[in-house]
């Protein structure tokens, strides 16, 4: 049996506008070109999996249920605009210096750790070596590389920010397999590369 392929997608800055610490579903805005990109990737046989760090939970700004509600709202907006359904959404609520003690931990799911990708691959029957990660931060790229995926960095402006805080540092010399301006261009490259 041949395992499926997936495109793992960071949420903020790749699918929707990166509104700092977004907690209000009314502020969710799908980025231009996303619907078409997702449609083309799904038509080519890729599973579509969102993998997102959500420190709003660790900071006490939102609950896990609030984030799940926002993610359902985003998925609904995408399908309402004509995108195919997402196959899964994985969220890491942890932070090594969380305000809420129950989320203050070093986990395997917070990017740059590859835990969300590994878990999704196991649940969906995905071959990580045949899959891709698209993100806008070096920590996304590190998670994809550690999982064994090919990686695409979209240059949203956040790509030049310092890496997010994590238990282990990200090698600043790490390079993605491809760099482009947005998810539409990432889809072009993935479809040509695959």
Catalytic residue annotation: 10, 12
Structure tokens at 2: 């041949």
Provide the 3-class DSSP secondary structure of residue 140.
helix
Q: DSSP label at 16?
A: B
What Å distances lie between residue 191 and 23, 126, 187, CA to CA? 33, 17, 6
> Residue 134's closest CA among 151, 120, 114?
151
Determine which helix (DSSP H) or strand (DSSP E) holds 178, and give its type and residue range: strand 178-180
Please count the CA atoms within 13 angstroms of the CA of 105 that sit on its side-chain side. 10
Cβ atoms of 130 and 122 within 8 Å: the answer is no
Strands in 88-92's sheet, in edge-to-edge order, are: 88-92, 46-53, 5-9, 132-135, 150-154, 178-180
CA distance 59 to 129: 34
User: Locate tokens 């709202």: which residue?
Assistant: 73
């Amino acid at each position: 049996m041949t395992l499926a392929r997936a495109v793992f997608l960071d949420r903020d800055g790749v699918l929707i506008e990166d509104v700092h610490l977004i907690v209000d579903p009314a502020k969710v805005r799908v980025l231009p070109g996303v619907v078409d990109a997702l449609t083309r990737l799904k038509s080519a046989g890729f599973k579509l999996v969102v993998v997102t760090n959500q420190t709003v939970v660790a900071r006490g700004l939102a609950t896990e249920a609030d984030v799940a509600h926002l993610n359902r709202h985003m998925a609904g907006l995408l399908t309402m605009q004509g995108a195919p359904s997402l196959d899964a959404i994985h969220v890491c609520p942890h932070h090594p210096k969380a305000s809420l003690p129950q989320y203050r931990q070093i986990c395997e799911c917070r990017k740059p750790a590859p835990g969300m990708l590994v878990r999704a691959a196991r649940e969906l029957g995905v071959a990580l070596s045949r899959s891709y990660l698209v993100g806008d931060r070096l920590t996304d790229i590190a998670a994809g590389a550690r999982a064994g995926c090919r990686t695409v960095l979209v240059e949203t402006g956040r790509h030049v920010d310092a890496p997010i805080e994590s238990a282990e540092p990200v090698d600043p010399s790490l390079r993605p397999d491809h760099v482009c301006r947005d998810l539409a261009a990432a889809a072009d490259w993935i479809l040509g590369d695959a």
